[in-house]
C-alpha cells in the first residue's frame, strides 16, 4: 500500500467499522516500520476490495484491521488477505498471531477459527462506543514447520 491508497482505505474502513480510524491514523501506520498495510484489488488499477493492517513485534504478528467492502463480501477476499498475513508470519518466523474481535462478530470469528485461531481471553467492554466485549484470539505457528498448532477455545 502507498500514500495514494490512503483515501480509498479510509473510505473502506468507514464503510466497514462502527468506529473507523481516520486518514491520519492510517498515514501513521504507513510510516511505522513494523506495521504492514496490505490492499487487495480484483483487477489492476481497480478499486480496493479489502485491506489488512498488522504489526510484526518480535515473534508476534498482531492484526489491527481486516475489512472487505460491504458489497464485495463472501467472495474470499478476507481469506486471501489472511492467507497472505499468515504467509508473512511464517516468512518472519513469527510464533504467535493475535487479534481482538467483537464478541458479536460471528462472521470474523468464523473466518479466524477456520484458519486455526482460538479464543484465549476476553477484554470486557473493550469497545468504548458501545461497551461490547472483545475476544482475544490466538493462532500459534510451529517455528520449524510453519504448521498451525491445534488449540481449543477457552470459554468466556
Residues that bind ligand COA (CB under 6 A): 16-17, 50, 66-68, 73-79, 99, 101, 105-108, 110-111, 114
Estimate the crossing angle of helix 6-16 against helix 23-31, to 10 degrees: 120
Rounded to 5 degrees, what angle do the CA atoms 132, 105, 154 make? 80
Min dist CB 113 to ligand COA, Å, is 8
Min dist CB 135 to ligand COA, Å, is 9
- The smaller minimum CB distance to ligand COA, of residues 101 and 119, is found at 101
Min dist CB 1 to ligand COA, Å, is 17
CA distance readout (Å), 131 to 110, 116, 125, 126: 22, 27, 4, 6
Strand partners, 96: 60, 140
Min dist CB 17 to ligand COA, Å, is 6
- The smaller minimum CB distance to ligand COA, of residues 65 and 140, is found at 65
Per-residue cell: 64: 489491527
- The smaller minimum CB distance to ligand COA, of residues 35 and 79, is found at 79
CA distance readout (Å), 50 to 36, 41, 103, 119, 124: 14, 7, 22, 24, 28
- The smaller minimum CB distance to ligand COA, of residues 107 and 154, is found at 107
Amino acid at each position: 500500500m502507498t500514500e495514494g491508497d490512503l483515501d480509498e482505505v479510509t473510505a473502506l474502513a468507514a464503510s466497514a467499522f462502527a468506529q473507523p480510524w481516520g486518514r491520519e491514523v492510517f498515514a501513521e501506520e504507513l510510516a511505522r516500520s513494523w506495521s504492514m498495510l496490505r490492499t487487495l484489488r480484483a483487477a489492476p488499477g481497480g478499486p480496493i476490495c479489502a485491506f489488512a493492517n498488522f504489526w510484526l513485534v518480535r515473534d508476534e504478528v498482531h492484526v489491527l484491521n481486516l475489512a472487505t467492502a460491504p458489497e464485495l463480501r463472501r467472495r474470499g477476499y478476507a481469506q486471501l488477505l489472511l492467507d497472505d498475513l499468515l504467509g508473512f508470519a511464517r516468512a518472519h518466523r513469527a510464533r504467535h498471531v493475535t487479534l481482538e474481535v467483537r464478541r458479536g462478530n460471528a462472521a470474523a470469528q468464523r473466518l479466524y477459527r477456520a484458519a486455526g485461531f482460538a479464543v484465549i481471553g476476553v477484554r470486557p467492554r473493550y469497545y468504548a462506543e458501545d461497551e461490547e466485549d472483545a475476544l482475544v484470539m490466538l493462532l500459534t505457528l510451529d517455528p520449524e514447520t510453519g504448521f498451525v498448532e491445534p488449540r481449543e477455545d477457552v470459554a468466556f
